[in-house]
Structure 1
Amino acid sequence: MVKLIVIADDFTGALDTAVQFASEGANTKVVVDSNYQLSQINEDVEVLVINAESRHLSSEEAYLVVYRIVEQAVILGIPNIFKKTDSALRGNIGSELTAVVDASKKTVLHFIPAFPQMRRTTKNGVHFIDGVPVHESVFGKDPFEPVKNSVVSDIIREQSKINLINVFETEDVADVKNPTIKIYDAGTEGRLTEIVEGLYVENQPLLIAGCAGLAAVLSKKLSFSKGRDKNPIICRSLLVVCGSVNPITLTQLEHAEKNGFKRVHLTTEQRMMDSYLETDGSTKAVKGWMDIFSHNDKCILDSQDPTDGLADQDFIDENKLTINDVRMKISTNMGRIIKRLLQEGLESAIMITGGDTLMGFINQTDIKEITPIEDVVSGTVLFTIEFEGRTIQILSKSGGFGDEKLLITLAERMFANRKEIAHAR
C-alpha cells in the first residue's frame, strides 16, 4: 500500500525526490499526469510521486491542482504527505503549501526549504544559494521566473494569508491551534536529520514540505519492503539534450565541450518552428545528427543560441512571441526531436536538462508512469521508460544543479561498466 505521496511542481523535481525513496528499496512510481486517479495505483506501490506540473500555472490554478491531489490522498488513507518544493523557491510556493494544509484538514505543515547537500541553506528565515541570498543569486536573474525575495515567509505571504511561524535552529515552538506553516532553518544535512527525527513518529501521519535533500533523510526513517534489486548501469554512449538557460548549466556545457563532448547547436527554426520536423530540410538534419551521435560516445544537442539571442530575435519579432511562448516552443520542439531520434534508432542514454524540456518529451509520448532507478550524481536522476517496445535510459537534471565538471563526472559513472561489458561479449 502507499505509505507516502509526494507532490512536485515539475518533472525534474518529481524525479529528484522519487529516486531518494527508490534508492532505499521502496517500490516507487512516478506519475506524469496531474489528473491521474490515485485509486488506480497498484497495491504494491509504497511511494507515489505525482508531477503536478504546476510551476508555471497561476497561483489559483496551482492551488486547485494540489488541493485535488491531496484530497484524493486523504480519502484513500495515505498517511504521509510530502509537498516537494523547488530548492531555489521558484514557483507557487505559498498557494501550494496552503492547498496541502487546507485539503488535508491538518493543523500544521512542516516546511524545511533547505537542501544543504547542494549548498542551499536557510538561516534566520532567509534562503541562501552558495551563501548568497537567493534573490541575489543566478535564480534572481532567471529570464522566465526570477526569484525576487529571499525571506521565506515573505515569499509565502505573496500568495497566502495562512499563519506562519519561523523555527530557528536554537528554538522550540509550542503547538498551535490554527492552520499553520512552520518554516525551519537548516544549514547542514545533520540539521535536516535532527528535524525529521523530531517530527517523524511511526504510525503517526506526517505533513511535510521541502526538497530532495529532505526526502533523502526521510527515506531512511520510513520502513519499506526492500523489494527492488539494484542492477548495474549498462551504458555505451550518452547524449545530453539541453533545454535549460540556467548559467550553471551553460558553464557545464562549455566545460564538457572542452573535454571531449561533441556539441551540436540547433538553429532558430529547429528550436522554435512548430512544423520543423515536417520540412524538407529536417530529414537531412536528422540524418546528420544521427551520424554524429553514432560516431561519438559523448554528445550535446543544445537549444542555446550561440549568438546570444541575436539569431532568434527576428523570428521572435516576426511571430510576436512572448518569453513564455519561446519557452514552450523550445521545450516542445526539443521533445519532438528526442522522439524522432529514438524512432530513427538512437541507442544512447539521454540526459535531459530542464524540467520543461523533459516534460516536452514526455508529452510527445503515451508514457504515464516511469520507474526511477538511482541518483547517479547528486541531483542527476536515472530512470527508465518503455518507448515503442524498447527500454530507454533517461537522465534528468534541474538547470541549477551541479558544478562545472558534472557532465564529465556523469559520463564516467555511466560508462563505468563499459569495459566489463565489452570483455564479456
Structure 2
Amino acid sequence: MAELAVAIVADDLTGAMDAAAPFARRGARTGVVIAPEHLAEVIGRDDLPEVLAINTESRHLSASEAAARVAEACGALLPLAPRVLFKKIDSTLRGNVVAECLAARRSSQRGLLISPAVPAQGRTLHDGQVFVHGAPLAATDYGRDARSVPPVEPLPTLFARQGLVIPVIPAGEMPNETDVIVDALNEADLRVLARRMLATPGRWLVVGAAGLSEALAVESCPSPSGPVPPAPPLDNVLIAVGSRCDQARRQVACLCEAVPSLPIIHAMEKSGAAQPAAARQKLVLPGSQSSPGYTSEQVAQGMARCVEGLLDTQPGQAPLLFLTGGDTAMAVLARLGVRQVELAGEWASGVAWGWLDGDRQRPIMTKAGGFGDDALLMRLGQASTTRG
C-alpha cells in the first residue's frame, strides 16, 4: 500500500485547504478530499498524493458526531503510515476542538502536540491562551461567532475538563511529555517546533492551524520538491463571500470602494439572484442587509444555488471561483458535485488555490473568512479588472 508524507484531518473545507496549501506551494503533490464519503475512493487510487487533507465537515456537529467522523477519517488514513498526522483545528478554537483531538488521539495512539498559533494572521498562543492581535480571544470578533462560539478558557482548562491534563511548554523548549501544549508567539517559534517534530516521525499527533502547517512545509521541503504551477489568470473571476465576520465585511467594503464598477449579486434576494451579471468579474454576497432572518446553513445553500446559476450562464467559460467562508465553500463544491481539489499552492497568505477534481479548466481559490488584510479582495479585484 502507498504511504503518505502528510495526512491532514480538518473540520471544515477552508481549513483543509489552507493547512495543505503550503506543501503544494513547495512542490509536493497535494490533494484535499472535500467530504468523508469521498475518502475511500481517493485513497484507493494508484496516484495517491504525497500530502492528503480530508474535510470531515464536523465543525457544527455535536461533539459525539464530530468525534466519530474524525475517528473514522484517522482510521482510514493511518494504514497509509503518514510521517506527519496533522489534526487541523480552527486558530480561534471554534468547533469541537477537544472532542476531535481526543478522538484522533485514541485512533492514532500518538501523543498530542498542540499549537494553533498563526502569527502571520495575528493569532498567537501564550500560557495556552489564544490571542488575536494581542487581545484575548473572548474579547475579539471571533469570540462572538454567530454559529460556532469559541470557548473562553485556555486550552489546558478545556482538556482537563475532559479528563486529560496537558502541560503548557514555553515557546522554544523541547517537549518531552506524552501530551503537550506549546506556546508560539512568532513564526520562528513554530519553525523550531516543526524541526523537532520531524525528527521523531510517528510520535506526535500534531494539532494546529495554518501557522504550524506552514512551518512543517518549510522544514520538510527546504527547497521545492517539484515544479510549482503559476497562479491562474484573473481576468474571469467569480468572488463569493459568505462569511459574516467583521474582517470579511471590511475586505468587501475595500473591494467595492476600489472597484465601483464591479457587479454585485445578492444571493438571498430574488431580484439579485435572477439577474446574473454578464461581466467577467462578479461579486456574490448573501444580501444587502446581511440577510436577516436566514440561518447560516440557509445562507450557504443560497450562495451555492446562486453560484451554480451564474456558472450555468457561462458554458465553456468556467471562471476562477474565489470562495470565502468554509460553509459557503463547502456548499458550493457539494452542489457542483466536486469530490476533491488538487492543490497547486497559494495566491496569497491564507489563500489556497488549485483545480476542482484536477480539471485544469476549473480553477478555485478559497480563504477562511477572517484571514487576510483589509485590502486582500481589493488586490484580487484590481488584478481582475486590469487583466480584463
Q: TM-score with structure 1 length normalisation?
A: 0.82
Partner of 2:340: 369
The counterpart of 1:64, out of the listed 52, 62, 68, is 68
What's the offset of the Cα at 1:206?
3.9
Q: SS in structure 1 opposite 2:167?
A: strand
**Largest Rg, 1 or 2:** 1
How many Å separate the matches in 2 of 1:269 and 1:412? 26
- Equivalent position amino acid for 1:260 in 2: V
How many Å separate the matches in 2 of 1:398 and 1:250? 13
The counterpart of 1:27, out of the listed 22, 29, 32, is 29
How many Å separate the matches in 1 of 2:112 and 2:378? 39
Tell whether the 8 Å contact from 1:125 to 1:153 is kept in structure 2 after alignment: yes
Q: Give the 5 Å matches for 1:172-251.
A: 172-176=174-178, 180=179, 182-201=180-199, 204-222=202-220, 226-251=225-250
How many Å separate the matches in 2 of 1:82 and 1:399? 22
The yes-or-no answer on 1:341 pairing with 2:341 is: no
Partner of 2:372: 402
The counterpart of 1:355, out of the listed 306, 322, 326, is 326
Q: SS in structure 2 opposite 1:381?
A: strand
How many Å separate the matches in 2 of 1:401 and 1:89? 15
Partner of 1:252: 251
Name the CA shift for 1:267/1:395 in 2 (closer, same or farther; >3 Å).
Answer: closer
Partner of 2:351: 380
Name the CA shift for 1:150/1:228 in 2 (closer, same or farther; >3 Å).
Answer: farther
Q: Kindly provide the CA deviation profile for residues 92-125 of structure 1, in whole angstroms up to 9, marking residues without a partner as x.
A: 110111111100122x111111111111001122
How many Å separate the matches in 1 of 2:375 and 2:236? 18
What's the offset of the Cα at 1:392?
1.9
Partner of 2:285: 302
- Equivalent position amino acid for 2:225 in 1: K
The percentage of aligned residue pairs carrying the same residue is 26
Partner of 2:166: 164
The counterpart of 2:136, out of the listed 129, 133, 138, is 133
The yes-or-no answer on 1:112 pairing with 2:83 is: no
How many Å separate the matches in 2 of 1:396 and 1:29? 14
Name the CA shift for 1:78/1:204 in 2 (closer, same or farther; >3 Å).
Answer: closer
Q: SS in structure 2 opposite 1:407?
A: helix
How many Å separate the matches in 2 of 1:154 and 1:304? 39
Tell whether the 8 Å contact from 2:303 to 2:328 is kept in structure 1 after alignment: yes
Q: SS in structure 1 opposite 2:361?
A: strand
Partner of 2:89: 85
How many Å separate the matches in 2 of 1:214 and 1:18? 11
Q: SS in structure 2 opposite 1:145?
A: coil
Q: Give the superposed CA RMSD.
A: 2.6
Tell whether the 8 Å contact from 2:128 to 2:155 is kept in structure 1 after alignment: yes
The yes-or-no answer on 1:289 pairing with 2:288 is: no
What's the offset of the Cα at 1:200?
1.7
Tell whether the 8 Å contact from 2:168 to 2:181 is kept in structure 1 after alignment: yes
The yes-or-no answer on 1:392 pairing with 2:349 is: no
How many Å separate the matches in 2 of 1:385 and 1:52? 18
Q: Kindly provide the CA deviation profile for residues 11-58 of structure 1, in whole angstroms up to 9, marking residues without a partner as x.
A: 000110111110111111111121322641434411111011111111
Q: Kindly provide the CA deviation profile for residues 180-224 of structure 1, in whole angstroms up to 9, marking residues without a partner as x.
A: 3x1110000001011112222165554211011111110123359
The counterpart of 2:148, out of the listed 140, 145, 150, is 145
Q: Kindly provide the CA deviation profile for residues 235-290 of structure 1, in whole angstroms up to 9, marking residues without a partner as x.
A: 213332111110110111111111114252526454xxxxxxxxxx78xx54x323
How many Å separate the matches in 1 of 2:305 and 2:216? 37
Q: Kindly provide the CA deviation profile for residues 51-72 of structure 1, in whole angstroms up to 9, marking residues without a partner as x.
A: 1111111101111111111122
What's the offset of the Cα at 1:303?
0.6
Range with bigger deviation, 12-21 or 237-246: 237-246
Q: Kindly provide the CA deviation profile for residues 281-324 of structure 1, in whole angstroms up to 9, marking residues without a partner as x.
A: 78xx54x3233x34xx4x32111442x65xx44xx6xxxxxxxx
